Structure formats: C-alpha cells, structure tokens
C-alpha cells in the first residue's frame, strides 16, 4: 500500500500540500475543523512574489495593476510585473478542495484535530503536515515556543469603491507602531478595509479603535459593515519546522511576511515543498528548501521592517520616495542610497523570482540592486553601511539605476 499522509487544515497551504501529495501518489486525508472557505480573516490580496505558483484556478476578482501607497505623499506604483491578484478566497479554496478530491484526496470537514489526536495521527500516518494556521495544533502538542505575530483587524464594507478599479490602496500609519491600513476592493461596491501592526513597539494596542479612526480619515465611516474579522499573523519563521514525522507549513511555521503580513503565497509554496519531502521521506530537504525560497525572502523583508521601525514619519516618506517615486523628482543616486529602499524597489518591480531547485534568483535585477540584495542576504552589514553613506557612489557611476523604472513599465508576460 502507498504512503499515508494526514493534512491538518484546508487553508491554502493544506490544500496545495494535499493536491501535490496526491499527484505524487500518496494516500491523503485532509482534516478541516470547519467548512472549507468559511471564517477566513484575510484582505485577500494574493501576491506570488517569486512567481512559482500557477494563476488561481478560481475566485480572481481582478489582476492588480497599480498600488496606491501613501506615506505622507502618495505614490502610484506600477505593479503589472508582479503576480498580484485580488481574490475571493472562499471560491478559490472550495475550487482547490474539489481539485484535491478529483486527485483522490479524502477531505473531511468539521474534523478538528486536538493535540492528543495529533499524537495518534503521528502513529497512524507515515507523515502529517500541520497546516492549521496561526494557532498551530503542533504548537500545543509539542510545546513549541511562541512566534512573533502581527495583529490585524478588518471590516468588509459595502459602498462606492469604483475609484479603486484595478488598484489596491495602502496607507502607512503615522502611529506609535509600524503598521499600515489597506483598502482592497473586491468589486466596485465591496472592499476589505483593515489595519495591521507589525513592529515590536505595540504601545497601548487598541487596534479596533485605530481602525475606526482610519475609516474616518478615508471617508469610509458611513459605509455599511458586512463583516468584522481580526487575527494574528506569525511573522517570524520557526527554527524547527519538522518535529518527528510532522512538517509545519504556512502560518503554522511562521511564514507570514514581516513587511506586509501576506502569507498566502508562502503557505502554498511550503505546502508543495512539504508534500515533495513526505514523498521522498526527506525532512532535511524540506528545511533546506524552505530556507532557500522562503526564509531568505522573509529576511530581506525584515530588513525593510527594521528600517521602518527605526525611522520617523518624515524619514519614512523620504525612503518611500527613494524607492517608489516614478516622476523624476528623485535623482538616480538617491534611489540607490538606502539599501532597504533598493530591497523594496526590487520586490515591487517584480524582477525577483524563484526556482524550485536553486532558490531565489536575482539575475533579472540591475547590477547595483543585485549587489545590495546579495549583501543583505549574506548579512554583510558593512557593505550595507557603505551604501547608506553613499560610499559606493563616490567610486562608481550608477549607470543602470533607471532600468528598474523602464522594466517595471513593461507589461507582465
Ligand atoms: C486580517 C488579515 C488579513 C490578511 N490579509 C492577507 C492578504 O491580503 N494577503 C495574504 O497573502 N495574506 C493575508 N493574511 C495572512 C493569510 O491569511 C495567511 O498567511 C494565510 O491564510 C496562511 O495560510 P495557511 O494555509 O497557512 O493557514 P490558514 O489560511 O489559516 O488555514 C488554516 C486552516 O486550518 C484549519 N484549522 C485550524 N485549526 C485546526 C485544527 N485544530 N484541526 C483542523 N483544522 C484546523 C482552519 O479552519 C483553516 O481552514 C491576512 C491575515 C489576517 C489576519
């Protein structure tokens, strides 16, 4: 008989893991505590930064062309080179579950797994994938340490959002804690509007009160609230993502972005990797692969969060202008001056990609961006410092600094 795999949780991570494992010939059972696609707390913006995943099979509200990012000034950022979609996750996840079942997976709804039951599953199955999200069942079963988490609250609103067609809006908060608000429309008349706090400095945390203030500032306080949700987003990867024959993926493994809180893409990628590792009985390969594809990317994003936390609002606006301004008000050297701005610019330009075997590929970036990112990944802070003080600028002409601008205007292929 073939190898048996239990998957706990039918979120994006669990469903991608189940589909991949069934395709590889494993006998898969998915245990979901509720109904698939119900009770999702998410802004539903899905960005596949490394371009590793297929376009969603269902539930796309629209492909996103522009990001409106407000710090003090507003920046209108072309993101057509990113794989970025606004999703209806309920429709998407239900379609993924149907695909998994068509490949032979057994999907059991209303089947919560307790820590005790997890210990039994470990004996009954060759492998268990824990895709149970931010409150991972493994954490309780194996007494794993707490992860650093961002806090998020959101309303789904009904009203006129026609001014945001094809766009997502992000507003960086001038608050005692690093965070941002979002207005992500699902249609001309409905949007997810929320607030997330990411930094360490969580003074007097009253996120729901802040969300009300954000709605007032955005002129949305009279819109009808159709749903309220809130949640935690783990934004630091666990040191160990395999315990015995249990592999942790997605939010359960702490793979949320420390920069923006998104975790759908990392959940799907880690799900695929976990299924391959279970098939090959090779948990070490899983840990190495998630490090190359997810760990390093999150490390880059953490650099931007560090700068964000260390900066006042005026400085943040200057960094954002360095990274995002397209109108020629920033000279080329300024766009290169702050390494974190280079990181942010490189991420948004859509030129970073991933390879399942090789990990993150920086080849498509201009030379200077490539050097800065490699230094950041290697933790060579001295080189980063020399960029910060414009050191490299004294020695070399930045001939290729505008190529990101040029390339980012090209349509996604
Ligand atoms: C307010 C908010 C907004 C967000 N917005 C975005 C966004 O716009 N874009 C983005 O990329 N990310 C966003 N995120 C993060 C994103 O939702 C998660 O990173 C992503 O859902 C992780 O996927 P997952 O499969 O690991 O876990 P989940 O999606 O949390 O899925 C876990 C599944 O496991 C089930 N489960 C839990 N416990 C058990 C158990 N004991 N037994 C059986 N089943 C169980 C749950 O019911 C659920 O179906 C947001 C998060 C929050 C809180």
Q: Which two tokens stand for residue 350?
A: 């859509």
Residue labelled with tokens 């299924």: 275
408 has pLDDT over 70: no
Q: Is the CB of residue 354 below 6 angstroms from any atom belonging to ligand 1?
A: no
335 has pLDDT over 80: no
Residue nearest to atom 38 of ligand 1 (CA): 132
Check residues 85 and 408 and name the one with the higher pLDDT: 85
Residue 336: band (very low, low, confident or very high) from pLDDT cuts 50, 70, 90: low
Q: Is the CB of residue 185 below 6 angstroms from any atom belonging to ligand 1?
A: no
The 10s digit of each residue's pLDDT in 16-70 is 999 999 999 999 999 999 999 999 999 999 999 999 999 999 999 999 999 999 9
Query: What is the Å distance from ligand 1's center to 264 Cα?
Result: 8
Q: Which atom of ligand 1 is nearest to the CA of 39?
A: 47
Query: What is the Å distance from ligand 1's center to 377 Cα?
Result: 27
Q: Looking at residues 119-139, what average pLDDT do you find?
A: 98
138 has pLDDT over 50: yes
177 has pLDDT over 60: yes
Q: Is the CB of residue 36 below 6 angstroms from any atom belonging to ligand 1?
A: no
410 has pLDDT over 60: no
Query: What is the Å distance from ligand 1's center to 310 Cα?
Result: 29
Residue nearest to atom 31 of ligand 1 (CA): 11
Q: Looking at residues 82-95, what average pLDDT do you find?
A: 97
Range with lowest mean pLDDT among 167-176, 189-198, 381-390: 381-390
Q: Which atom of ligand 1 is nearest to the CA of 153?
A: 1
Residue 404: band (very low, low, confident or very high) from pLDDT cuts 50, 70, 90: very low
Query: What is the Å distance from ligand 1's center to 11 Cα?
Result: 6
205 has pLDDT over 70: no
Residue labelled with tokens 């279970």: 278
Closest CA to 174 of 316, 343, 23: 316
103 has pLDDT over 90: yes
Into which CATH architecture does domain 149-234 fall? 2-Layer Sandwich (3.30)
Beta strand 4-8 with 27-31: parallel, antiparallel or unpaired?
parallel
Residue 370: band (very low, low, confident or very high) from pLDDT cuts 50, 70, 90: confident
387 has pLDDT over 70: no
Q: Which atom of ligand 1 is nearest to the CA of 229?
A: 1
Range with lowest mean pLDDT among 92-106, 295-309, 324-338: 324-338
Q: Which two tokens stand for residue 64?
A: 């996103």
Query: What is the Å distance from ligand 1's center to 323 Cα?
Result: 30
pLDDT of residue 201: 62
pLDDT of residue 374: 83
Q: Is the CB of residue 256 below 6 angstroms from any atom belonging to ligand 1?
A: yes
392 has pLDDT over 70: no
Classify domain 4-44+88-147+235-297 by CATH number.
3.50.50.60
The 10s digit of each residue's pLDDT in 217-274 is 999 999 999 999 999 999 999 999 999 999 999 999 999 999 899 999 999 999 999 9
pLDDT of residue 146: 87
Residue nearest to atom 41 of ligand 1 (CA): 113
405 has pLDDT over 50: no
pLDDT of residue 337: 57
Check residues 90 and 404 and name the one with the higher pLDDT: 90
pLDDT of residue 166: 94
Q: Looking at residues 150-179, what average pLDDT do you find?
A: 92
* Domain residue extents for the chain: 4-44+88-147+235-297, 149-234, 302-409
Q: Is the CB of residue 172 below 6 angstroms from any atom belonging to ligand 1?
A: no
Query: What is the Å distance from ligand 1's center to 220 Cα?
Result: 26
Sequence-ordered list of residues with C-beta below 8 angstroms from that of 132, at least 6 positions apart, any chain: 8, 9, 14, 33, 113, 138, 252
Average pLDDT of the chain, as a whole number: 87
Q: Is the CB of residue 267 below 6 angstroms from any atom belonging to ligand 1?
A: yes
Sequence-ordered list of residues with C-beta below 8 angstroms from that of 226, at least 6 positions apart, any chain: 156, 157, 158, 190
Residue 176: band (very low, low, confident or very high) from pLDDT cuts 50, 70, 90: low
Check: CB of residue 97 under 8 Å from CB of residue 107.
yes
Beta strand 167-172 with 242-243: parallel, antiparallel or unpaired?
unpaired
pLDDT of residue 334: 53
Best mutation site among 132, 268, 298 for ligand 1, i.e. most ligand atoms within 8 A of its Cβ?
132
398 has pLDDT over 70: no
d(CA 12, CA 89): 9
326 has pLDDT over 60: yes
Best mutation site among 35, 263, 267, 290 for ligand 1, i.e. most ligand atoms within 8 A of its Cβ?
263
Residue nearest to atom 35 of ligand 1 (CA): 9
Residue 329: band (very low, low, confident or very high) from pLDDT cuts 50, 70, 90: low
């Amino acid at each position: 008989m073939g190898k048996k795999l239990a998957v706990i949780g039918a979120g994006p991570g669990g469903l991608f893991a189940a589909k991949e494992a069934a395709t590889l010939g494993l006998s898969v059972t998915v245990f979901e505590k509720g109904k698939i696609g119900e009770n999702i707390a998410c802004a539903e913006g899905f960005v596949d930064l490394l371009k590793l995943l297929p376009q969603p099979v269902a539930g796309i509200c629209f492909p996103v062309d522009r990001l409106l990012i407000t710090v003090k000034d507003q920046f209108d950022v072309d993101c057509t080179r990113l794989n970025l979609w606004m999703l209806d996750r309920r429709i998407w996840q239900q379609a993924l579950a149907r695909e998994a079942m068509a490949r032979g997976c057994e999907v059991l709804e209303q089947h919560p797994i307790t820590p005790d039951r997890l210990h039994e599953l470990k004996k009954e199955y060759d492998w268990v994938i824990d895709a149970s999200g931010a409150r991972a069942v493994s954490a309780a079963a194996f007494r794993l340490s707490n992860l650093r988490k961002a806090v998020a609250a959101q309303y789904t609103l009904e009203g006129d959002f026609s001014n945001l067609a094809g766009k997502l809006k992000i507003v960086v908060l001038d608050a005692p804690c690093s965070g941002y608000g979002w207005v992500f429309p699902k249609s001309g008349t409905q949007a997810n509007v929320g607030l997330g706090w990411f930094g360490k400095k969580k003074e007097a945390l009253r996120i729901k009160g802040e969300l009300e203030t954000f709605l007032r500032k955005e002129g949305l306080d009279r819109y009808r609230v159709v749903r309220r949700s809130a949640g935690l987003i783990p934004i630091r990867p666990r040191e160990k993502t395999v315990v015995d024959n249990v592999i942790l993926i997605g939010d359960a493994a702490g793979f949320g972005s420390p920069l923006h809180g998104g975790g759908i893409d990392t959940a799907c990628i880690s799900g695929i990797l976990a299924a391959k590792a279970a098939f090959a009985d090779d948990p070490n390969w899983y840990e190495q692969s998630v490090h190359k594809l997810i760990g390093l990317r999150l490390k880059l994003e953490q650099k931007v969060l560090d700068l964000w936390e260390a900066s006042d609002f005026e400085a943040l606006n200057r960094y954002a202008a360095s990274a995002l301004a397209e109108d020629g008000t920033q000279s080329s050297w300024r766009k290169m001056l702050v390494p974190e701005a280079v990181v942010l610019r490189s991420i948004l330009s859509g030129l970073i990609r991933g390879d399942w075997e090789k990990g993150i590929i920086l080849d498509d970036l201009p030379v200077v961006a490539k050097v800065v990112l490699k230094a950041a990944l290697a933790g060579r802070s001295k080189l980063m410092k020399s960029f910060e003080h414009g050191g490299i600028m004294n020695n070399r002409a930045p001939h290729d600094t505008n190529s990101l601008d040029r390339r980012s205007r090209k349509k996604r292929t």
